[in-house]
Structure 1
Amino acid sequence: MWGWLALAIGAEVTGTLALRASQGFTRPLPTLLTLAGYGLAFWSLSQALTRGMALGVAYGVWAAVGVALVAVIGALFLGESLTWVQVLGIVMVIGGVLALELGGSAHA
């Protein structure tokens, strides 16, 4: 399950970075990479769900880790800003997802 979710996250991050490079879908290669990335992301997410991962946990982890990775990659490699307030927000989102996961496993 978790391997499928990791693949979904990687594909979504790749698709999002390619989306930026596509310049409004005017560049063919990044546009194709965007479509392939999102397609693979949703398919991989569906595989994690099919194998028993809870929807709230899967989507929460997918979204939180994806947002964090895109923000960090943007700051490190694309010249985008990342303020301490944004970092705190990312930490809070990840903390919320962790609470979702821990709360769910207590009742399993």
Structure 2
Amino acid sequence: MTWVLLACAILAEVTATISLRLSEGFSKIAPSVVVVVGYLTAFTLLALVLKRGMAIGIAYGIWAAAGVALVALIGAAFLGDSLTPVQYGGLALVAVGVVALEAGGAH
């Protein structure tokens, strides 16, 4: 259940971040509401993950890295952002770093 909560926190954060772009500086009401609700949801779920005992370095590392990667990929796929081969390599390194962080914490 902890991992499901973390995945939902990540999805809420990514939704809020994409909506931040779509809000055009909070000038559009619907995306602006999604930003506020999304970030409140993301942090609430992250707090629940931490309360359930996941180490903060693991939880935040996965949350932040997955969020960065997903936002970059969504931006490239749907919002006209571009990613260079070096940036794709950076995203791969972020994924490897998260796996290393998790593997290093195993008992």
TM category, shorter: over 0.9
Structure 1 residues 39-58: aligned runs within 5 Å? 39-58=40-59
Identity of aligned residues (%): 56
* Residues 43-68 of structure 1: per-residue CA shift (max 9 Å, x gap): 00011111111100000000111111
Query: Alpha carbon RMSD of aligned pairs, Å?
Result: 0.7
What secondary structure is seen at the aligned counterpart in 2 of 1:61?
A: helix
**Total equivalences in the alignment:** 106
Q: Which runs of at least 4 in structure 1 moved beyond 3 Å after TM superposition? A: none
**5+ long unaligned stretches in structure 1:** none
Equivalent position of 1:14 in the other structure = 15
Which TM-score applies when normalising by structure 1? 0.95
Further displaced range: 6-15 or 85-94: 85-94
Which TM-score applies when normalising by structure 2? 0.96
**5+ long unaligned stretches in structure 2:** none
What secondary structure is seen at the aligned counterpart in 2 of 1:68?
A: helix
